Amino acid sequence: MTDYRAMFDLTGRTALVLGAASGIGGASAEALGALGATVICADRDEPGAAATAARIGNGARATRCDAASATDIEALADFIGDARLDIAVTTPGLNIRKQILDYTEEDFARVVDLNLKGTFLFFRAFGRRMVAQGGGSIIACSSIRATTIEPGLGVYGMTKAGISTLVKGFASEVGHANVRVNAIAPSVIETALTAPIKERREIYDKYAAHTVLNRWGASSEVASAVAFLASDAASYISGTTLLIDGGWTAIDGPPTGLTQTRPN
């Protein structure tokens, strides 16, 4: 009989989380640590990454890394050293909410450099290591905005769609080495970055109503999906983007809450 509990156990594995200082990245680092992994917490906010590592304990370490910097990504690889790396998660992202006609080239470059180029740099650096060692799980962060858009999110959505496509391409290239590559695609998640929206109750409630559950998600609900994709429970999953959206993309507009009755 298959030991299904053991399939989720990450004891003895090493995980890297870039973006671990807060939000989805911080929660993902904590989830991986809770399931037994030794976690390396990286972020441009090094004190925040160190605080996450302290909460995790169990040998967790922290270091600084700017996800948009090729130099920093290579330095992060050097920080890990020659040890085996079983799990690599990258979550940083940037949205400059402007309509395309108002975007500057600088705005465009900033969003593309962090979201899309940063993911490419991460894949290249840690994919090489995992191919050489003969296995591993890489997880990136896409978004429902890869498929559903509203005004002002076109450039951001483009990068997130690009991440989902990059995941497919990379998965096709490294699967021969037993390296799995996937992405998560959250919808509205309560984090420190989205906290200001909560103060604007009308907007907060409007977004909640786009989900079939009529609520925002918690970072822990995304982190649990990251942990699943990192584990042997997802050993036959690669090249996919997992929606964690409360049903946002399942419906065309907010649910009405109306019910239909059949005539007798």
**Could you confirm whether 156 is annotated as catalytic?**
yes
Query: 118-133 and 154-174 are packed helices; what angle lies between their axes, rounded to 10 degrees?
Result: 10
User: Six-digit token pair at 150?
Assistant: 């509203």
Do 164 and 175 meet the contact criterion of CB atoms below 8 Å apart? no
Query: 70-80 and 118-133 are packed helices; what angle lies between their axes, rounded to 10 degrees?
Result: 30
The set of residues, in sequence order, having a beta carbon less than 8 Å from that of 179 and lying 6+ positions away, is 127, 130, 131, 135, 136, 137, 138
CB burial of residue 79 (10 Å; 0-12, 13-18, 19+): middle
The set of residues, in sequence order, having a beta carbon less than 8 Å from that of 72 and lying 6+ positions away, is 64, 65, 66
Catalytic residue (one of 4, 103, 156, 236): 156
**Maximum Cα–Cα distance across the chain:** 72
| Residues designated catalytic | 156
